[in-house]
Every structure is written in C-alpha cells, then in structure tokens.
Amino acid sequence: MNDFEIGNQCYVSKDYQSAKECYERFLQLEPQNYIAWHNLGVTCCQLGLDEEALKAFELPCKQNYAESYLSRGSALRNLGRYREALISFAYAFALDPKHPTAYSNYGNTLREFLQPEMAIPFMRIARSLKPNDPNFELNECVCHLMKGDLLAGWELYESRWFFQSEVSMKPNLQGPEYDGSQDINGKVVLVYYEQGFGDNIQFSRYIKLLQEKGAIVKLITKQATFELFRYNFPDVEVLDSDAPVPGYHYHVAIMALPRCFKTTIDTIPYPTPYLDVDEGLKQSWKTKLGPKTKKRIGLLSSPNKVAYITKFRRIELEKLLSITSDDYEFISLSYEVDDEILASLNKHNVRDFHEELTGFYNTAGLISQLDLVITIDTVIPHLSGAMGIPTWVMLSDYGSDWRWFLNRSDSPFYNCMRLFRQNGDGKWDSVLESIKLALDNK
C-alpha cells in the first residue's frame, strides 16, 4: 500500500494531519498526480489551512477537474474571498452541469453576501438535481427567511434538523407533534429547546401564544437559560435539559412555533418587552455598579462561538472601543475576558464584570441597568431586545443572519432595536462613524 492509499484511509478516519503527510510524501515521487494534489487540498481545508489548500488545487484546476474548483471555492469562501469563490463554483458547474453541490455553494455564497433573491434559482437547480437532500432545502429556506418571505421559509425549515449532519438531529419524542391545527385548550404542550441560546430567547415569545390558546406549557431548556425562563414564565413548568421528560399531550420544538402560528413579517408576536428580572436582582446590580452619574452603555465585540460564518461578524475590540468617550459610562458584556482584553478595557475606562455574568438571568440583571447596548450579532442583542433595552446591532455585509432581514435599520422582532450595517466594503469604519454620530446626538 502506497502513501496515496494510506492517506486516503487516514482521511476517511479523520486523521487529517497524517493524511496530509502521506499525500505530501506521495507527491514528492509523483508531482504531476493531480488527484493527489486535490486530496491534499481538501485535507488542508479540513485542517483550516485554506491558503495552503489553494496552492494544492492549482494543478487539478488546470486539468479542469470540477471537484477541485468546487473545493477551491469552499477554501476561498472560508477566507472571505467570496467573489473569487463565486467564480470557482461557476467553473465547477460549467465543467459538470449536473453537479448539485456546485449550484448550491454558488447560491449559498450569494445568500451570504445578502443576495437571497439571486441565490434561490441556484438553490432550486441543486434541489432538482438531488431532490431529497435536506441541506439544499435548508439553503433555500434561509434565502426565503432572509428576504422576509417567512411563510415560504417556515415550510422548508424542518430541514434544519439535518444541518451538518447526515441524519436528523431532531429528538425522537413519542406522541403527536403540535403543528398549529390541533385544539390545545387544556392540553399539555411540551416545548423543547434547539440551536443556540439566542434562538431560544428570541422564540420564547411564542410560549405566551400557546397559553392564549389555553395550553398548559412545559418547557425544556438548557441550564444557562433556566432561571431566565423560570422567572419570566411563572405558570410554565420549566425543566432542565438533563431532567426526565415529563408527560404531555403534544410536543413541539421552540423554533417550529413560528410555522405553527403562520407567522409573517407583519405578525411577529411581542416585539414589545417580554423578558425581565426581579427587583432584588436589579437592586443587587445597582449596588455593584454604584452611583450613576452618566448614561450607561454595554459593549460586546465578538461572539463566544468562533465558527466559519461568525468570524465575519467579529470586530477587533480596540476598534470597537474607539467609540468610547467620557460622556458615557461603558460596561463590557463579554463572558470571555483574558489579560489582553482586560488591559484594553482598562485603557478605555470600560468596566468589566465577566466573573459575575453566570447564566443569562444574571446577565439580564446587568442589562436591566443599562441605557443602551451596542453589540455585534450574538446572543446579547436578543436578550437586551427581549427586555426592551435600546439596542444597536452592528451587522456585517457578509454572513449576516437571516433574522435581521435586508436593507432595514429596525427589527420587527424588537421595537427597541436599531441596526447599523456595513456599506458593502466588509469594513466597520462607516458603522463606527455612524454610531459615534448617533451617540453625539443622543
């Protein structure tokens, strides 16, 4: 067995570093083997070595190998070079007109660059070539949601359970699933969490709609949101995700509820505040913060989770701190603070309480004492927005989440929110200038 074959075995077993070394040894003996170069390239992508992957794809692309153009496009997309990625994906489906992933990736890149209308035809070609692929369905779904066609989006939203998975990640609960058509008056409806904390905070508003239909609601949530939901829904049995599943008549995932209620962009429920904290916690934070002499502004520069798409939403902390001034009291809302971050915060007189931000209920206590929150897209604007605290959200051109929609400076989900968008250059300078001007006029 030669190094090429051993490299393939290592790749299949996800030992990518060993696979890379095998391909490199093989290519020293057969430098013109473009399939080996392709395999090295995709292995580099798995290792996060996208620049190295681009070099590996050069020979197979010269050989018009469609798979390498496809993988090259993915590497370029990872690097944020989306215009070049589009060209590479186009080469892939030009060389292989029946390659569904090439069309889907092309459409996905358009959608990530806030062009969902242009993306949908490519998504539909991909689906026509491979009709039962839930990932292609999800890609089209997000396009509809982003452009505000929520009903069309909800119809395809079940595909989310296959995100980055070949099998459904949907919990296998017994009994009927609530779909909006059943009479639930007096019935127990079990609502369970899914996806991220921001998603659950954003869509917990639907609990009240179930109760308005007479349902007895039981809610399964994660520990970090347990206290927040237990306080705000006192007549709901809130259970930790590790607890045994209680009895119920119907079950439903929390993010399936918009579909159950046939929510459109004009009928989103409770854009007004629907979360709060008790007076004791508010008083505790008042004491910690001390006498108030200026308006207080919370700041957050980056998401806690660094994934492919969220890295484009980040802003360097020093750049964000350029908006600080002596006119306001600034407070960091970050959970993850190291010595370098702390030094930057101290330099700009930004107060830090990260050691006390244990769980979202306690974080909500701090937020309740703020006059304004300025943040990139993460869980925090959903928490402050649900509390009715004025919130300014900084949105990137590339990779902006569907729930902020397009070309608008407000949010139909939260009536206390203002959106600041990049102006097409992928940079934060214009956003920061707009925020500084808004602060000067506040």
DSSP string, 165-215: -SS--S----SPBP-S-S--TT-EEEEE--S-HHHHHHHTTHHHHHHHTT-
Question: pLDDT over 70 for what percent of the chain?
Answer: 98
pLDDT given for residue 287 in this prediction: 97
Regarding whether 153 and 8 lie in a shared domain, the answer is: yes
Regarding whether 205 and 74 lie in a shared domain, the answer is: no
Q: How many domains does the chain have?
A: 3
Tens of pLDDT, residues 366-384: 999 999 999 998 999 999 9
**Does residue 347 lie within any of the structural domains?**
yes
Regarding whether 405 and 326 lie in a shared domain, the answer is: yes
Q: Which of 230, 260, 290 is the last residue of a domain?
A: 260
**Cα(426)–Cα(276) distance, rounded to whole angstroms?**
35
Among the listed residues 360, 345, 206, 363, the one whose alpha carbon sits nearest the alpha carbon of residue 284: 363
Q: Which of 146, 162, 178 is the last residue of a domain?
A: 162
CATH code, domain with 124: 1.25.40.10
pLDDT given for residue 163 in this prediction: 81
Confidence band, pLDDT 50/70/90 cuts, at residue 69: very high
Among the listed residues 76, 79, 84, 156, the one whose alpha carbon sits nearest the alpha carbon of residue 116: 156
**Does residue 366 lie within any of the structural domains?**
yes
Tens of pLDDT, residues 280-297: 999 999 999 999 999 999
Regarding whether 138 and 110 lie in a shared domain, the answer is: yes
Regarding whether 128 and 92 lie in a shared domain, the answer is: yes
**Cα(227)–Cα(97) distance, rounded to whole angstroms?**
53
Structural domain boundaries enclosing 388: 279-440
Residue 67, classed as helix, strand or coil, is helix
CATH code, domain with 204: 3.40.50
With a CB cutoff of 8 Å and minimum separation 6, the contacts of 42 are 11, 53, 71
